[in-house]
Structure 1
């Protein structure tokens, strides 16, 4: 097959983005359909929460392991297995006639989604070694995320109302089948060195168990209470398992997560910033939807339409502006600008009224946050994978996704708990806390190594990655 190499790379990127679109689309679609699922299957509030939590726990808990397996077994193989597993589990979800079956299928969905997502960014790194092209590719990935989130809000309502909630899962079947067929044809076979090169089964058990218990403690901490015995015991067990994992990695001959990876300044700071940023952003999205419905009495459709402009701005900035900003100013400066816009946009929400809402005055300023996220997310992805060696790309991709999921779960749990105060006061406190998290992320980002913009580095030194200047 004599396909143009550049065209082949972008075709392969389209396959990766199609799989990511399916995984992201599923999250927003499921949220919209929860009331219909509850009524049809007669699930109580606790059981309904597990329809979401089972997916989140499996997804976040398996990302790191899945990323490492991609490096050892081949990222193409793990990606296609994840897409196949996610698609099959989606069919099981659609066929479910009881809460137990649906929750189990959602756990399997999370496992498949983790496999596909963990290696996706690593595949992008391998496909695009040139920093300018890589920035454009990461912009396409950011656009995919925003498009999936915004499309899911509308599509979920249409499918649930027109065909029933089962079809929010059945819709994944044609997408997954197309991604599998195209992936087998377009993705290069990158067989890794095998499990003997670093399987570290004890480390895998420790980190997967620790992450799953940790996310469980986070998502259950709000309903059960942060000081409840169950929450404290689960959190303590998670910390013990993760501490054991770190000790294991320091001594293992072939560690699952070499500690040298976490010792890299750029990698460590990018993941810390990612955790704080996603905690604020996901919490903000949930809180704004709750405020519009609970305080301003918007319908579900009106709420989705009210939040749609922000999703469109994220998509446009990710696809059209982020790569150009990185090429001109570098990842660090682009990230700082994005975090500054995010902080200002969310801080403005502390003015939300208890009475009449002026949409243009009170809600549209969130477009600042949307633009900021489009810039920051693309720059953070590039920074989080900037030090990736070929043998570590899947691992770093899984690590970046893990901090994203843990941050999202933590933000939703903590900020929604704060928003539970009387009237609009709780919402204002939660938005203020979100702005404080973003300000902390901005201060951490200032410690990132300075760098020349990609365009300047290329002009001066020929093709190659941006030069990092410590200090």
Structure 2
């Protein structure tokens, strides 16, 4: 079914409009399908790597005999660098060529994955994971930019976004299953090695089939001061949020990097307002619904990141589920993401438009989270399932719609910029939501932030989680209000006539 739907989308995309690189790409259906498949591979490597490594963490901890606090940086280092380098690499693709950055990212990711499998210590593994994050930032942000260029605004692009959402949803679940199998059968190092052959094949195919693009921003150089400040500022901001989720917002380990990040990001905005070749022209943020869509990306991913963590801790520490059982418990939500996000969202968008779709999405997210506030110490899976399904349906509709709104009106030469900004918003939203909701949970019951399993204090933990869930619902309401500011995009590509979708 996935293949048939994917072929239909891609065939219609070619029928509606030729690729934007008309001078460099072939116009055959098979070529466009292959380019789209390579874009999917880039996203798939990132999303599957995130879930596959999570499953292997206990084995890594046992081999290197390290604390949980140190172990978290196996994932944290990757999260820091991918979030920090997205905007820089997106704009670098505009200036130097998307294919060059994309290929470079694939090579870096592949080599770092292989070396990570050979890591002799936890520190070496963390360093290679950080390098992996840089490679992933290069590939995912340019893949998104290539997708924007491949399909004009309208049904073709909307459906392509839906297909990617579906595949990524399946990829996350597949990564968890594959990670468990590989770790048990071949050891944790195999979850690093598995990326190497996939990356190698992708590099060879990309070299041959990916459109050859020179820099799309002519007579321009990369804004180095802007790149340094925004990259360092974003990394410090995510680092502060990571600390806040564990230590609280008012700890020195949170406040110091948070203050530094604010200074750096303020410096970045100052530099951009005076630069002749800005990394992020401020006029771009003010255009159309770009700022609103990115604010919505932060809000929606904050809810998803925080609620996902709370549900996982609740099921394992309060309901007594094993990690495997907790993973299976979220499969209905993953299936909703796969079906609704993959195909239902694009159908709804084509019928009622972006703004109404996001309004419905935020209502469903809010209602679903409110339904989850009924959790209790004596609860069971069926008390949280309705809220989980409603919340997942809303979020899965919202992600493709927000992506479409964030890149609407993108001009030729801004593809990497648009991709970098919205992907950074999505990446920052997860640790932001985790930090905010766990801080609220901890304020009402300190043991909630730690997810204590002690039965004598379970009631206090659940009470803290309830307050955090109410905060999540409030974020949903904020998203609903923001959605009214979304403008409906025009269905036209770069210098092309409006794309006429199939009736």
TM-score (norm 1): 0.93
Q: Pick closer, same or farther for the CA change 1:439–1:28 going to 2, 3 Å.
A: same
Q: Paired residue for 2:498? A: 463
Report the equivalent of 1:143.
Answer: 166
Distance 1:4 1:253 in 2: 37
Once residues 2 and 126 of structure 1 are traced to their aligned partners in structure 2, the CA distance between those partners, rounded to angstroms, is: 11
Q: Deviation of residue 337 (structure 1)? A: 1.4
Contact kept, 8 Å, 1:20 with 1:144, in 2: the verdict is no
Give the one of 372, 379, 394 matched to 2:401. Answer: 379
Aligned match for 2:388, one of 363, 366, 369: 366
Residue 344 (structure 1) aligns with:
367
Partner of 2:476: 438
2:467 to 424, 429, 435: 429
Partner in structure 2 of residue 189 of structure 1: 212
Alignment correspondent of 2:42: 19
Provide the C-alpha distance between the structure 2 equivalents of 1:10 and 1:349, rounded to a whole number of angstroms: 41
Q: Name the CA distance, whole Å, in 1 between partners of 2:305 and 2:312.
A: 11
Q: 1:52 to 1:417 in 2, by over 3 A?
A: farther
* C-alpha separation in 1, matches of 2:164 and 2:86: 18
Change (3 A) 1:117 1:3: closer
The structure 2 residue matched to 1:79, chosen from 91, 95, 102, is 102
| SS of structure 2 residue aligned to 1:332 | helix
Note the aligned Cα RMSD (angstroms). Answer: 2.2
Q: Distance in 1 between matches of 2:67 and 2:116?
A: 18
Q: How far apart, CA to CA, are the structure 2 residues paired with 1:20 and 1:450?
A: 27
In the aligned structure 2, how far is the partner of 1:2 from the partner of 1:381? 25
Partner in structure 2 of residue 469 of structure 1: none
Cα deviation, residue 40, structure 1: 1.0
Mapping of 1:240-389 within 5 angstroms?
Answer: 240-357=263-380, 359-389=381-411
Q: CA deviation at 1:71?
A: 0.5
1:91 Cα deviation after fit: 1.0
**1:128 and 2:151 are equivalent in the alignment:** yes
Using the TM superposition, give the Cα deviation of residue 138 of structure 1 relative to its aligned residue in structure 2, in angstroms.
Answer: 0.6
Work out the number of aligned pairs and report it: 460
1:278-310 Cα offsets, whole Å, 9 max, x none, are 011011111111110000010111011000111
1:158-209 Cα deviation digits (max 9, x unpaired): 2222221111111111221222222222210111057960311111111111
CA–CA separation in structure 2 for the residues paired with 1:257 and 1:184: 29
Change (3 A) 1:187 1:194: same
CA contact (8 A) 2:108 2:135 kept: yes
> Tell me, which stretches of 5 or more residues in structure 1 are unaligned?
467-471
**SS of the residue 2:277 aligns to:** coil
Matched residues in 1 for 2:38 and 2:83: separation? 23
1:403 to 421, 425, 430: 425
Q: Give 1:164-183 correspondences, 5 Å limit.
A: 164-183=187-206
Match of 2:57 in 1: 34
- Is 1:10 the counterpart of 2:33? The answer is yes
* 1:154/1:304 contact within 8 Å kept: no
Deviations 1:55-112 (A, max 9, x none): 1111111110010001111111111211111111111111112111011001101111
| Cα separation, partners in 2 of 1:86 and 1:451, compared to 1, 3 Å | closer
Q: What is the rounded CA distance, in whole Å, between the counterparts of 1:230 and 1:424 in structure 2?
A: 27
> How far, CA to CA, are the matches of 1:230 and 1:416 in structure 2?
16
Instruction: Please state how far the C-alpha of 1:330 moved relative to its aligned partner.
Output: 1.3
The 10-residue stretch of structure 1 (442-451 or 82-91) with the greater mean CA deviation from structure 2: 442-451
C-alpha displacement at 1:450, in angstroms? Answer: 4.5
Rate the CA distance shift 1:429–1:465 in 2: closer, same or farther, 3 A: farther
The partner residue of 1:233 within 256, 259, 265 is 256
Deviation digits for residues 23-43 of structure 1 (CA, Å, limit 9, x no counterpart): 101111112221111111111
Unaligned runs of 5+ in 2: 1-23, 446-459
| Cα drift, residue 451 of structure 1 | 6.0
Determine which of 407, 420, 435 is the counterpart of 1:413: 435
Contact 1:278/1:404, CA 8 A, preserved across alignment: yes
- Go from structure 1 to structure 2 and tell me whether the alpha carbon gap of 1:194 and 1:381 turns closer, same or farther (over 3 Å shift): closer
